[in-house]
Structure formats: C-alpha cells, structure tokens
Structure 1
Amino acid sequence: MTAPVGGSAEPPADEYVDLPVRERERVFEGRVWDVRRDEFEYGPRGASIVREYVDHPGAVAVLALDEDDRVLLIRQYRHPVRAREWEIPAGLLDVDGEPPVEAARRELAEEADLVASDWAVLADYFTTPGGSDEAIRIYLARGLAAAPDVHDREDEEADMLVRWVPLDECVDAVLARRVGNPSLAVGVLAAAASRARGWASLAAADTPWPAHPGLRPAGG
C-alpha cells in the first residue's frame, strides 16, 4: 500500500509554531473579543501573508458526570445561531492569572450550582482554527455535590434549563445531529471513548495546555 504524502509511523499530533510577524493590527475592539490583522512570514522564502482572525481569550467547559453516568446539560439561548441549544457548563478565561481548572470550578458553580471533588482533563480543541485563535479545554468533573451558594442568573441565563441525561443518550443525540454545540459534542464523544478504555486517556487537571496561545511556553 502506498503511503500518503506526509505520512509517517508517528501518531498525528499538532505542531505549534511561532512564525515571524511583521505587523499586527487590532482592526476591531469588541466587548468580549477583538479582530486582529497579522502580516507574517511563511515558507522557505519568507513570503508575506495577511490574515484576519478573532482574538479570543479562550474558554473552559465542564462535562459533569454523576454516579449513574448521567451528564449535566443546560439549555441556553445563543443569539448568533438563533437557537436554544443544549450545552455543558462553559465560560471564558476572562480573569487574569486564573488557572484554567479554577475557571472550570467557577463556571460549574455559577451555571449549575455544583462543586466536584474529582477533576481531570478530558479533551482540548480549537473551535474555528481558520478564523479564530479560540482554544477550549474540557474537564471531566466527578464527585459532585451541591454548591454552598446559589448564583443569580440574568440575560440569556435567566430561563436556562438544567437536565441530567445518560451519557449514552447524549452520544445518540450528537450522532443523530439533534444537538450542535461543539463542547457538548466533543465532550460526550470523548467521555464515551475514554470510558470504554477505562478512563485511561484522562490527564491531570493541571496538565499544561500548549494549544492555548496565551498559555504556550515561549518558543513552542
């Protein structure tokens, strides 16, 4: 069998690079994220390329799984897609210096009034790598209990619904294309696959996150 171009025996893994940026401009400043225009060098001859993209702080999401293998889902209105969509708790990394796992703990408490004693990294992904630098880390949270405080909710969260759904039913909903939220889809599919492997794929909650541009070690 002929090997595909660029194929090798190594498992696929993203390569993080820092290309020379000739010019960077903020062309739009928004309430949550900005739009930037970068002119950077690419290729052996250092050709100049210009790309515009959403400059995003990144986010975390939480797949909360109870002792009966049920996932906590929330239904919330999202105006850009004009839908009340089912999601897992998630939120922006918008507190300076806050470790991602602490942001995940905060979001679980704020959106679901829950705390968890067992935290692990389940999956990392880019939402739209061709047009945004947004990176999301999904945590698996177990050992759940009621949070000591109940949070007030407003705006789109004011009529948010909460439901516990068996993990297998969540997988069915993704495969049947009944739900479209990416963190929900990635989270439940990753959880089902990890569970089938005895949860061997899970990583420590404080595992480095090089996929996030702001948390990437210098030079890599």
Structure 2
Amino acid sequence: MTGTQGFADEQSPRRLLASETVYSGQVWDVVKEKFTLTDDGEPLVRDYITHPGAVAILAMNDAGQVLLINQYRHPVRMTLWEIPAGLLDVDGEDFQVGAARELAEEADLMASEWQVLTDLFLSPGSSREALRIYLARGISEVPAAERHTRTHEEAEIKAEWVDLDDAVQAALQGRMHSPSAVAAVLAAAVARGNGFRDLRPADAPWPEHHSQHSTWPNGPVR
C-alpha cells in the first residue's frame, strides 16, 4: 500500500458453499459456513456469532466531562467502566433513535446534539457484531416520572462524570477494558482537537451493519 490518505476497509465477498445455524441462543446464534477464498480454492469452514449489532454513546457535558458507567460483566467476572450501550434489537428502529433509547435507559439522560464518533467490528474473527459509537452533547436529564426501571445487572449501574483526559489515561494505563469505552474516549480526545468538526452527522450511512444488505454480501448460497 502506498500512502495512507483515504484508505478504507472494503467488502470482500467470497464464494459461499454452505451455511447452517448450529446453535440458537436467546440473543444471538452461532453459524457454521463453508466458503472458498478463490473460485477453485480449497473449502474452508468457520463458525461465527450472528449479532443484531449495537450502539454506544459517549455523553459529554458542557464542562467537557464524559459519562462512564460501572457494570458487572459475568463472562470476565469483573465490574467494568463502560459507556451506555445496547443491542439494536428493535426491528426497523433508526440507529440514532436506538442510541437515544439506550442513553435514557442506562443513564437517565437525553441529548440534543448527536454525531457519529466511530464505527467498529468488536471481534471480526468470531462475530459479525457491528458497533456504532455516538458522541452525544447538549445533555439533560430524563424526567423522574419517565425513567426506565433497570433490572438484573443494570440495576447495579453506577455513573460518574469524568474528565476526558482522565478517561484517556485510564485507557492507556490498562485501568479500563471495555472496547467501546476505550475506543470512544481515544477517538473523542483526537476529535476534540478541532472542535469535533470532522465527525460525521448522526444519520451518516452505516453500510457495515448487516441490516443494510438485502442478502449476505456475497449473495445467496449456491
């Protein structure tokens, strides 16, 4: 590759030979697929997790502080400092609307200004989970009578407003492990340098989310 200006990840469909769901879970399934890298290549088999995708929100107040929430995550047996986030599990829901819903449900907050901070695949070697992280500003509180009742792990959520620079240091020093939180605070620290003017609008296209394809990128099984 010569130069770095304008480089981007690209769709790279390969010939799909077979696909089956080998495990159906409450939130996501596991799919086994056989494919080839070239038309005459040897068949390869890979298992991966299907996923509805997710959104996450870095809320920033007028003082430049960002909201971090502390929540228990059972697979790693830790309480993690994260940012509000949730699944895109409402059929047909606009991505930013879903983000606003999650911000209200997990942090009792609303925002009047929304921008796309960054887009990620969280574990592309094993999952198709696509994550869009928003920067939310113009923060206000959800009226008490309209607040969501949190249950299970969410009932234990604690929230703290933290200086962005302190959050960056927590990420760099290995004190914060949530990939969405780490990516968000590092991206926000860079974007802050020019007043967030380079960020995309909240309704920017998100072609990497699977819902934007009428079929899987390489078409139907053949």
Give the TM-score normalised by the residue count of structure 1.
Answer: 0.93
1:166 matched to 2:160: no
| Matching residue of 2:2 | 8
Structure 2: runs of 5+ lacking an equivalent? none
Q: Deviations over 1:144-199 (max 9, x none)?
A: 11113111111001121011001110001000100100000000000000011331
1:176 matched to 2:173: yes
Mapped to 2, the partners of 1:131 and 1:99 lie a distance apart of 26
SS of 2:191's partner is helix
Structure 1 segment 61-210 matched on structure 2, within 5 A? 61-148=56-143, 149-210=146-207
Deviation at 1:99, TM superposition (A): 1.1
| Matching residue of 2:208 | 211
Q: Conserved in 2, the CA contact under 8 Å of 1:20 and 1:40?
A: yes
What is the root-mean-square deviation in Å for CA atoms of aligned residues? 1.5
Give the TM-score normalised by the residue count of structure 2.
Answer: 0.92
Structure 1: runs of 5+ lacking an equivalent? 1-6
Q: Conserved in 2, the CA contact under 8 Å of 1:122 and 1:201?
A: no
Q: Conserved in 1, the CA contact under 8 Å of 2:54 and 2:132?
A: yes
Structure 1 segment 38-49 matched on structure 2, within 5 A? 38-43=33-38, 45-49=40-44
Q: Deviations over 1:38-68 (max 9, x none)?
A: 1112125243211100111110000000000
State the identity %. Answer: 50
What residue identity is the alignment partner of 2:172? Answer: L
Question: What is the aligned residue count?
Answer: 214
SS of 2:66's partner is strand
